Structures are given as structure tokens and as C-alpha cells.
Structure 1
């Protein structure tokens, strides 16, 4: 839960930015997760939309979120290139599973079976 302390000497945009970085780093926010709109988050936190927009711009510049135009802002994949590609694939798979209305446990079982059936990567 994000909280802005108006009595803090830390500017509100920095409080928001730091808390979102912590949420991504801890796994509370996962790659591909959609963030609230700037206006909605500003309203929820009782701060100006420009404050949220500044935090989002800084988070995007540092690679923690990505903005997809009118589709909104999302948590960006983290880590090395291989991990980022795997996170993008996992997000796409999850979206497909939701669209097909399959049970998440069944979807995980399908992934486990596919991973077991595949040949190991060799160097």
C-alpha cells in the first residue's frame, strides 16, 4: 500500500517513486502489471496529478515501468535480457490463459509439463 507522508521532508513524487521501486523489487508488483492511471493514483493518494506524472516519468526513465500510450503504464520486465524476454513471454501467456478462461492451476501444470518435455539447454 502506497502512502504519502505530507510531513516528510522527502518530496511526494520521490516518496511515490521509491515506494513503487520497492514494490517492483519485492515482487509485490510484477512485470506486466498495469498501474493505476495518473489521475486515479493522484486522487487515491491526495496529491496533484503532476506529482504522480513526474514519478512515473522518472520510473520510466530508469526502466521500472513502461508507458504504452493510451493503454496505460505497466511494470516493466527487470533483470538481464534473457530474464526480460522470459517475463514478457510469461505475461503474454498469462493474458492468453485469462482470455481462454482456463484455471490458473491448470495453466501452471501445462507449463510444468512443457518445461519437463523440452530438452535442457546446453552450452
Structure 2
């Protein structure tokens, strides 16, 4: 299973934009900048709500919107993941990279060893 990533999204409580929309837009921005790759497991609703100081219902609403847009998918008890876009080679490659790193960590390799393997492959 993929390691859960952190969502570095800032919520401005004084903004006229509702917090759920700020979160939704923040996730989309992270994806667009390549900071979150397809296949990445995102925090649970409760964990992200605690991290951002938001109500769980606010985070759940943002996740529902992202899921309706085809940006994330929920895989039951396995969690929620960034969904690959059908027309994006970069997203597919990112999903493969996430999968490779997860499998390499399962084999007991640390990040330095994984980077070394990737450098050799390039």
C-alpha cells in the first residue's frame, strides 16, 4: 500500500472563499505543480481536519467535490488516492514512481538507496 503523503494546503479563515473550496483549490494546485502525483494516498478526512484545524465535514465536502471531479478516488478501507488522469503521461509515470518507491520501501530500502537506483536507471 502507498505511503500517505502530506497535503501542504493553507486555509485563510478571513477569506471570503469557503474553507472547503480553499482546500479543493489547494489540492488541485498541488497536483498542477507536480507536488502530488497520481497514485499518492492522501490523509484521511479526520487526519487532515486535525492538521488544518477544520471540521471533518468541511474536509469531507472538499473530498466529495474532488471525487466528483475525478481528481481523487476512495478505495474503501485503503483510503483516498490521487487519481490518474487518462490523458496525462506525466500522471501515469508519477503513479508508477509512487508504486516503485512504495515497493522499494517494502523491501527495506531507504530513500538514499532508492534515489541511487533511480539515478542508475536514468
Normalised TM-score (structure 2)? 0.77
User: Which protein has the larger Cα radius of gyration, Structure 1 or Structure 2?
Assistant: 1
The one of 92, 104, 115 aligned to 1:105: 115
Unpaired runs of at least 5, structure 1: 113-123
> 5 Å matches for 1:1-123?
1-80=8-87, 85-102=92-109, 103-109=113-119, 111-112=121-122
1:57-90 Cα shifts (integer Å, max 9, x gaps): 1111212211111111112223516555544433
Say how many residue pairs are matched. 112
Unpaired runs of at least 5, structure 2: 1-7
Residues 13 and 52 in structure 1, CA contact (< 8 A), matched pair in contact too: yes
- Structure 1's 41 and 97: CA in aligned 2 closer, same or farther, altered over 3 A? same
Residues 37 and 91 in structure 2, CA contact (< 8 A), matched pair in contact too: no
- Kindly indicate whether structure 1 or structure 2 has the higher relative contact order, using CA contacts under 8 Å at least 6 residues apart: 2
Which of 75-84 and 31-40 deviates more? 75-84
Corresponding residue for residue 117 of structure 1 = none
Structure number with the higher helix fraction is: 1
- Structure 1's 22 and 81: CA in aligned 2 closer, same or farther, altered over 3 A? closer
